[in-house]
Structure 1
Amino acid sequence: MRAKLIVFPIRARNWCFTRSIDHSLPPPPSSSASSFKELWNNINNAEKSFNAKAELCTDYVADKMNNGWVTLEKAPDGSLKKKIHGLGLWLLSRVKPSEIFLKSISKEVTGVEIVYPSSLNAQLVRRRLRHIAMRGTTVHRKFFYGSVSLIPLSSALSILPLPNVAFFWILYRSYSHWRALQGSEKLFQLVSNSSNSSITFTDKKGTEHSDSQSESLSSDKPHCILSPSEELEKLVHQEDGNDGLSRDTITEICKLYNLNTKDVIKYEKSIF
């Protein structure tokens, strides 16, 4: 599956990195176990690798958290569960957009098409994506281990006669950092020049030019396609001043490329 990534400067040195939402793709099939007994049996399968077992545990926890979140969302207004849901929305709004972007690079992604304003240098765009992937690997690995270490401490709060919000939030952050870490490693692999990754540049006429010395005639489709866009260039540079893009322009770009407007706006104040 090829993911379309949209890159453009949004304010001064702040660039937006986001993935286009493809509504035509069906949701990936769930591989999570329906019960803890089934999960335990799958983990004890000697044929599965450590990474495969870790994925099973992660999918199981994610499935349970999603079910719990849906329950909170459907709670009646004014109830404690609804207030907890509101608190969760507030906490989620403070998650950095780069983390959301890296999480969108799932294990099903086998290639990326990078769309950017035609005035930007293609090598600069790719270097900045590599920088985000490299730093994401370091940052989210550190925070993943930190969040996991807090799970036993937060679970002790379950003795209180209140919902253990801290435990579920730390559990979610552990899962989120794990997914961002996996996305960082995947993105770095796709946008780097190596024997396992080929880079293709698309010029204004739509002609593709390979940039991988190890690419053979029998190789698969390129892992990374850099596509300069005149249309995105016009939208980004239709405004003067140093205050960045207006909300109307951001909304127009989001509609054009099927982006999440709230996530894009976060980049106004976030460099990484």
Structure 2
Amino acid sequence: MRARLVVFPVKGRNWCFSRSIDPSLEEAASSLTPSTLKHLWKKISSSSNSSAKNVELVMDFASNKMNKAWMGLEKAPEGTIKNKLHGLGLKLLSRVKPSEIFLKSISKEVSSVEITYPSSLNARLVRRRLRHIAMRGAAIHKKYFYGSVMLLPLSSALAVLPLPNIPFFWFLFRSYSNWRALQGSEKLLQLVSDCSYAENPAAPKGSEPESEESKHKFHSSQDSLWVLQPSKDLQELLDKHAEGNGLNDTAISDICKTFSLNATDVSKFRHSM
């Protein structure tokens, strides 16, 4: 499956990295996730999956349950305890960095990426920035994952209190989120580190080194793991709303509508470090 990644500057040296939303793919992925414990056990016991695959099934099952519980809190009447818990959850979620959300979107099913970026940017710089966010994410989220897992037993002790064990569910969510971001980091690094164009068999021996443009043309084949796609439309939207303080809400909204991005996630990149 090929994923479309959109990369562009949002404010100063802050760049946005986001994946285009495809509702049909999200529905297909959710349909493969076990919905009940019986279904989960049947998949684990009857299949010849590896232990890593079974762990992934359990993690996806737990995530699906947490998402359903979250939707229940969202629909709770105003002023109720569930409604207040939802408000607290929103405050906690606002602290999640946008780079983590982006890395989590690079699922195991992604086999190649099409990287859309403003036509004025250097293609080599765009790829370098993607490799940097993948390498940094792999190091950071591995550390955070182990830290969150270590805090789970301590927070589970709070279950004796007659209140919802918010710390336990928060660290459970953080464990899952960091694990998914770690997997996405490693997958993205694998994809954008492919250098098959360096072995271009069509290039005659002793010829001049390939220009960046010729490398781009060769690497845009169907067999490539990554394709750099400069976009004049994206460049025009950036030029139209160019300001000294970065992109405004109108610019982000227009870009998100054109390239099917999540406006809330894109806006966070303006203030990320």
| Structure-2-length-normalised TM-score | 0.86
CA distance in 1, matches of 2:76, 2:199: 49
Letter of the 1:169 partner, please give it.
W
Range that drifts further, 102-111 or 22-31: 22-31
| Secondary structure at the counterpart of residue 269 of structure 2 | helix
What CA deviation, in whole Å up to 9, does each residue of 1:106-146 have, x standing for no partner? 11211111111111110110010011111111111110111
1:117 is aligned to 2:118 = yes
CA distance in 2, matches of 1:34, 1:14: 39
Q: Number of paired residues? A: 261
Letter of the 1:4 partner, please give it.
R
CA distance in 1, matches of 2:96, 2:160: 29
- The RMSD of aligned alpha carbons is 2.8
Letter of the 2:231 partner, please give it.
S
Structure 1 stretches lacking a partner, 5+ long: 213-218
Letter of the 2:223 partner, please give it.
K
Aligned to 2:183: 182
**Shift >2 Å, 4+ stretches:** 22-26, 29-48, 193-199, 237-242
Aligned to 1:209: 217
Structure with the bigger percentage of helix: 2
| Secondary structure at the counterpart of residue 124 of structure 1 | helix
CA contact (8 A) 2:196 2:224 kept: no
Q: Summarize the alignment of residues 211-230 of structure 1 with structure 2, pairs less than 5 Å apart.
A: 211=219, 221-230=223-232
Range that drifts further, 237-246 or 40-49: 40-49
Aligned to 2:164: 163
Q: 2:255 aligns with which of 240, 253, 256?
A: 253
| Secondary structure at the counterpart of residue 73 of structure 2 | helix
| Secondary structure at the counterpart of residue 108 of structure 1 | coil
Q: CA deviation at 1:253?
A: 1.0
CA distance in 2, matches of 1:265, 1:194: 32
Q: Summarize the alignment of residues 61-210 of structure 1 with structure 2, pairs less than 5 Å apart.
A: 61-194=62-195, 209-210=217-218
Aligned to 1:234: 236
Range that drifts further, 34-43 or 173-182: 34-43
1:263 is aligned to 2:265 = yes
What CA deviation, in whole Å up to 9, does each residue of 1:154-188 have, x standing for no partner? 11101000111111111011111111111111111
| Structure-1-length-normalised TM-score | 0.86
CA distance in 2, matches of 1:155, 1:202: 54
Structure 2 stretches lacking a partner, 5+ long: 201-210
Residues 168 and 2 (structure 1), Cα distance of their counterparts in 2 relative to 1, 3 Å cut? same
